[in-house]
Amino acid sequence: MPELPEVEVSRMGISPHVAGQTVSRITIRNPKLRWPIPEAITAIEGQVITQVTRRAKYLLLHTAVGTAIVHLGMSGSLRVLPAATPPDKHDHVDLVLASGEMLRYNDPRRFGAWLWADLNELHQVLTKLGPEPLEAEFDADYLFEKAQGRRTVVKQFIMDNHIVVGVGNIYANEALFSAKISPQRPASKLTKAEVTKLVAEIKSVLAFAIEQGGTTLKDFKNADGKPGYFAQELQVYGKGGQACPRCDAPLNQIKIGQRATFYCSECQL
Protein backbone atom coordinates (compact mmCIF):
# COMPACT_ATOMS: atom_id res chain seq x y z
CA MET A 1 0.00 0.00 0.00
CA PRO A 2 1.39 3.45 -0.86
CA GLU A 3 2.40 5.28 2.30
CA LEU A 4 3.03 8.98 2.85
CA PRO A 5 6.44 9.13 1.13
CA GLU A 6 5.12 7.35 -1.95
CA VAL A 7 2.11 9.69 -2.12
CA GLU A 8 4.37 12.72 -1.73
CA VAL A 9 6.60 11.46 -4.54
CA SER A 10 3.48 10.99 -6.66
CA ARG A 11 2.59 14.63 -5.97
CA MET A 12 6.11 15.69 -6.95
CA GLY A 13 5.85 13.65 -10.14
CA ILE A 14 2.51 14.88 -11.44
CA SER A 15 2.61 18.49 -10.25
CA PRO A 16 4.85 19.91 -13.02
CA HIS A 17 2.51 18.45 -15.66
CA VAL A 18 -0.81 19.31 -13.97
CA ALA A 19 -0.45 22.57 -12.02
CA GLY A 20 -1.44 25.59 -14.13
CA GLN A 21 -3.25 23.44 -16.69
CA THR A 22 -6.91 23.72 -17.71
CA VAL A 23 -9.05 20.59 -17.42
CA SER A 24 -10.75 19.92 -20.76
CA ARG A 25 -12.82 17.04 -19.45
CA ILE A 26 -12.94 14.27 -16.90
CA THR A 27 -13.67 10.74 -18.11
CA ILE A 28 -14.97 8.28 -15.51
CA ARG A 29 -15.09 4.68 -16.74
CA ASN A 30 -15.88 3.08 -13.40
CA PRO A 31 -17.35 5.27 -10.65
CA LYS A 32 -17.41 2.42 -8.14
CA LEU A 33 -14.20 2.89 -6.20
CA ARG A 34 -13.93 2.78 -2.40
CA TRP A 35 -16.73 5.35 -2.44
CA PRO A 36 -18.79 6.20 -5.54
CA ILE A 37 -17.23 9.06 -7.50
CA PRO A 38 -19.62 12.00 -7.01
CA GLU A 39 -21.23 13.59 -10.05
CA ALA A 40 -20.22 16.96 -8.62
CA ILE A 41 -16.62 16.26 -9.60
CA THR A 42 -17.51 17.25 -13.19
CA ALA A 43 -17.34 20.85 -11.92
CA ILE A 44 -13.59 20.55 -12.48
CA GLU A 45 -14.11 20.68 -16.27
CA GLY A 46 -13.02 24.02 -17.69
CA GLN A 47 -11.12 24.90 -14.51
CA VAL A 48 -7.42 25.61 -14.05
CA ILE A 49 -5.66 23.37 -11.53
CA THR A 50 -3.95 26.04 -9.48
CA GLN A 51 -1.82 23.70 -7.38
CA VAL A 52 -1.38 20.08 -6.28
CA THR A 53 -0.98 19.54 -2.55
CA ARG A 54 -1.05 16.59 -0.17
CA ARG A 55 -2.87 16.05 3.12
CA ALA A 56 -2.00 12.75 4.79
CA LYS A 57 -2.30 10.21 1.94
CA TYR A 58 -4.74 12.34 -0.05
CA LEU A 59 -3.68 14.32 -3.12
CA LEU A 60 -5.60 17.57 -3.59
CA LEU A 61 -6.09 19.13 -7.03
CA HIS A 62 -7.15 22.72 -6.30
CA THR A 63 -9.26 24.90 -8.61
CA ALA A 64 -11.18 28.16 -8.26
CA VAL A 65 -14.47 26.29 -7.72
CA GLY A 66 -13.37 23.40 -5.55
CA THR A 67 -10.92 20.57 -5.00
CA ALA A 68 -10.63 17.06 -6.41
CA ILE A 69 -9.39 14.70 -3.70
CA VAL A 70 -7.53 11.57 -4.81
CA HIS A 71 -6.56 8.60 -2.66
CA LEU A 72 -4.45 5.80 -4.14
CA GLY A 73 -5.84 3.12 -1.83
CA MET A 74 -3.94 -0.16 -1.91
CA SER A 75 -3.15 -0.44 -5.61
CA GLY A 76 -3.86 2.91 -7.25
CA SER A 77 -1.39 4.84 -9.38
CA LEU A 78 -1.28 8.02 -11.45
CA ARG A 79 0.44 8.57 -14.78
CA VAL A 80 0.77 11.53 -17.13
CA LEU A 81 0.16 10.36 -20.70
CA PRO A 82 -0.77 11.75 -24.12
CA ALA A 83 -4.51 12.44 -24.10
CA ALA A 84 -5.16 10.01 -26.97
CA THR A 85 -3.61 7.00 -25.18
CA PRO A 86 -6.12 4.11 -25.26
CA PRO A 87 -7.22 2.90 -21.81
CA ASP A 88 -6.11 -0.40 -20.36
CA LYS A 89 -7.98 -2.58 -17.93
CA HIS A 90 -8.37 -0.86 -14.53
CA ASP A 91 -7.88 2.65 -15.99
CA HIS A 92 -10.87 4.16 -14.21
CA VAL A 93 -10.43 7.96 -14.42
CA ASP A 94 -8.82 10.31 -16.95
CA LEU A 95 -8.34 14.01 -16.30
CA VAL A 96 -7.74 15.39 -19.79
CA LEU A 97 -5.78 18.64 -19.94
CA ALA A 98 -5.73 21.43 -22.51
CA SER A 99 -2.00 20.78 -22.92
CA GLY A 100 -2.76 17.55 -24.80
CA GLU A 101 -1.77 15.40 -21.84
CA MET A 102 -3.93 13.66 -19.28
CA LEU A 103 -3.68 12.44 -15.72
CA ARG A 104 -4.76 8.78 -15.73
CA TYR A 105 -5.80 6.85 -12.62
CA ASN A 106 -5.36 3.07 -12.58
CA ASP A 107 -6.56 0.96 -9.66
CA PRO A 108 -6.93 -2.84 -10.01
CA ARG A 109 -8.41 -3.35 -6.54
CA ARG A 110 -10.56 -0.18 -6.58
CA PHE A 111 -9.85 0.69 -2.92
CA GLY A 112 -8.81 4.20 -3.88
CA ALA A 113 -11.04 7.24 -4.25
CA TRP A 114 -11.85 10.35 -6.29
CA LEU A 115 -13.89 12.83 -4.24
CA TRP A 116 -14.93 16.46 -4.58
CA ALA A 117 -15.16 19.39 -2.17
CA ASP A 118 -16.70 22.70 -3.22
CA LEU A 119 -14.74 25.89 -2.64
CA ASN A 120 -14.26 26.64 1.09
CA GLU A 121 -15.68 23.22 2.01
CA LEU A 122 -13.57 20.78 4.05
CA HIS A 123 -14.42 17.25 2.98
CA GLN A 124 -15.29 14.89 5.82
CA VAL A 125 -12.34 12.59 5.02
CA LEU A 126 -10.01 15.44 6.02
CA THR A 127 -11.78 16.72 9.12
CA LYS A 128 -10.31 14.53 11.89
CA LEU A 129 -6.73 14.16 10.76
CA GLY A 130 -3.80 14.81 13.06
CA PRO A 131 -0.84 17.01 12.15
CA GLU A 132 1.56 16.27 9.32
CA PRO A 133 4.64 14.47 10.66
CA LEU A 134 7.11 16.73 8.85
CA GLU A 135 5.49 19.97 10.03
CA ALA A 136 6.59 21.93 13.10
CA GLU A 137 3.25 21.27 14.82
CA PHE A 138 4.30 17.63 15.26
CA ASP A 139 6.91 17.86 17.99
CA ALA A 140 7.87 16.13 21.24
CA ASP A 141 5.64 18.33 23.41
CA TYR A 142 2.61 17.50 21.26
CA LEU A 143 3.22 13.76 21.10
CA PHE A 144 4.11 13.44 24.80
CA GLU A 145 0.88 15.19 25.77
CA LYS A 146 -1.16 12.94 23.48
CA ALA A 147 0.49 9.85 24.98
CA GLN A 148 -0.57 10.56 28.54
CA GLY A 149 -3.01 7.94 29.81
CA ARG A 150 -2.84 5.93 26.57
CA ARG A 151 -2.66 2.18 27.10
CA THR A 152 -2.29 1.63 23.37
CA VAL A 153 1.08 0.20 22.38
CA VAL A 154 3.33 2.79 20.83
CA LYS A 155 3.33 1.28 17.32
CA GLN A 156 -0.46 1.54 17.04
CA PHE A 157 -0.35 4.94 18.71
CA ILE A 158 1.92 6.53 16.09
CA MET A 159 -0.05 4.85 13.27
CA ASP A 160 -3.29 6.49 14.45
CA ASN A 161 -4.18 9.21 11.91
CA HIS A 162 -5.97 11.14 14.65
CA ILE A 163 -2.60 11.47 16.42
CA VAL A 164 -0.34 12.05 13.41
CA VAL A 165 -0.97 11.31 9.76
CA GLY A 166 1.04 9.20 7.40
CA VAL A 167 3.15 7.05 9.73
CA GLY A 168 2.24 3.79 8.02
CA ASN A 169 3.33 0.31 8.96
CA ILE A 170 6.68 0.23 7.17
CA TYR A 171 7.86 3.55 8.55
CA ALA A 172 6.51 2.93 12.07
CA ASN A 173 8.67 -0.20 12.22
CA GLU A 174 11.70 1.67 10.95
CA ALA A 175 11.30 4.72 13.21
CA LEU A 176 10.83 2.63 16.36
CA PHE A 177 13.95 0.63 15.54
CA SER A 178 15.99 3.78 14.98
CA ALA A 179 14.66 5.23 18.26
CA LYS A 180 15.47 1.95 20.13
CA ILE A 181 11.89 1.68 21.42
CA SER A 182 9.96 -1.59 21.55
CA PRO A 183 6.77 -1.46 19.47
CA GLN A 184 4.99 -3.21 22.35
CA ARG A 185 5.59 -0.46 24.93
CA PRO A 186 2.43 1.35 26.07
CA ALA A 187 2.50 4.90 24.72
CA SER A 188 1.92 6.33 28.20
CA LYS A 189 5.08 4.66 29.51
CA LEU A 190 7.43 6.52 27.21
CA THR A 191 9.63 9.14 28.82
CA LYS A 192 9.87 12.65 27.40
CA ALA A 193 13.39 11.85 26.20
CA GLU A 194 12.13 8.74 24.38
CA VAL A 195 9.30 10.68 22.77
CA THR A 196 11.76 13.36 21.67
CA LYS A 197 13.92 10.70 20.03
CA LEU A 198 10.91 9.00 18.42
CA VAL A 199 9.62 12.23 16.88
CA ALA A 200 13.07 12.95 15.47
CA GLU A 201 13.32 9.46 13.96
CA ILE A 202 9.80 9.60 12.45
CA LYS A 203 10.73 12.86 10.73
CA SER A 204 14.11 11.51 9.62
CA VAL A 205 12.80 8.21 8.23
CA LEU A 206 9.95 9.85 6.29
CA ALA A 207 12.10 12.69 4.95
CA PHE A 208 14.76 10.26 3.80
CA ALA A 209 12.18 8.05 2.08
CA ILE A 210 10.80 11.08 0.21
CA GLU A 211 14.32 12.16 -0.73
CA GLN A 212 15.12 8.69 -2.06
CA GLY A 213 11.91 8.60 -4.07
CA GLY A 214 12.43 12.09 -5.38
CA THR A 215 15.99 11.28 -6.42
CA THR A 216 15.00 8.14 -8.33
CA LEU A 217 11.86 9.66 -9.87
CA LYS A 218 12.52 10.26 -13.55
CA ASP A 219 9.33 11.33 -15.27
CA PHE A 220 5.73 10.38 -14.63
CA LYS A 221 5.21 10.53 -18.38
CA ASN A 222 7.31 7.40 -18.75
CA ALA A 223 7.27 5.86 -15.30
CA ASP A 224 4.68 3.30 -14.27
CA GLY A 225 3.15 5.75 -11.80
CA LYS A 226 4.26 3.67 -8.83
CA PRO A 227 7.27 5.22 -7.10
CA GLY A 228 9.13 2.46 -5.27
CA TYR A 229 9.38 2.01 -1.56
CA PHE A 230 12.88 2.65 -0.29
CA ALA A 231 13.19 -1.10 0.31
CA GLN A 232 16.93 -1.04 -0.22
CA GLU A 233 17.25 1.16 2.88
CA LEU A 234 14.98 -0.79 5.26
CA GLN A 235 16.65 -1.89 8.47
CA VAL A 236 14.05 -4.22 9.99
CA TYR A 237 10.81 -4.29 7.99
CA GLY A 238 10.33 -7.67 6.29
CA LYS A 239 13.48 -9.08 7.92
CA GLY A 240 12.12 -11.32 10.67
CA GLY A 241 14.69 -13.94 11.68
CA GLN A 242 17.57 -12.06 10.11
CA ALA A 243 20.38 -10.54 12.16
CA CYS A 244 19.73 -7.15 13.73
CA PRO A 245 21.86 -4.58 11.86
CA ARG A 246 22.84 -3.06 15.21
CA CYS A 247 23.57 -6.02 17.53
CA ASP A 248 23.29 -9.19 15.37
CA ALA A 249 20.51 -10.71 17.52
CA PRO A 250 17.73 -12.31 15.44
CA LEU A 251 14.93 -9.91 14.62
CA ASN A 252 11.47 -10.81 15.91
CA GLN A 253 8.32 -10.84 13.80
CA ILE A 254 4.90 -10.55 15.43
CA LYS A 255 1.52 -9.00 14.64
CA ILE A 256 0.27 -5.85 16.32
CA GLY A 257 -3.20 -4.75 15.28
CA GLN A 258 -3.11 -7.35 12.49
CA ARG A 259 -0.05 -5.64 10.99
CA ALA A 260 3.34 -7.30 10.57
CA THR A 261 5.76 -5.93 13.15
CA PHE A 262 9.54 -6.37 13.15
CA TYR A 263 11.83 -5.46 16.03
CA CYS A 264 14.91 -6.41 18.03
CA SER A 265 14.20 -7.49 21.59
CA GLU A 266 17.82 -6.77 22.52
CA CYS A 267 18.09 -3.19 21.18
CA GLN A 268 14.52 -1.98 21.46
CA LEU A 269 13.46 -1.66 25.07
Return the active site residues.
2-3, 57, 259
Q: Which of 73, 63, 86 is nearest to 35 (CA)?
A: 73
Strand 113-118 and strand 252-256: pairing?
unpaired
How far from 85 is each of 29, 61, 93, 137, CA to CA, in Å? 14, 22, 13, 43
How far from 47 is each of 59, 118, 156, CA to CA, in Å? 17, 13, 41
H/E segment holding residue 9? helix 4-18
The reply to whether 34 sits in an annotated binding site is no
How far from 16 is each of 49, 160, 186, 222, CA to CA, in Å? 11, 32, 43, 14
Instruction: Give one word for 37, left, alpha or beta, with left for phi > 0 and alpha for psi -120 to 50.
Output: beta
The reply to whether 109 sits in an annotated binding site is yes
The reply to whether 150 sits in an annotated binding site is yes
What distance in Å separates the CA atoms of residue 41 and residue 64, rounded to the nearest whole number? Answer: 13
CB atoms within 10 A of CB 251: 23
Q: Which of 85, 124, 91 is nearest to 105 (CA)?
A: 91
Binding-site members for DNA are 90, 109, 150
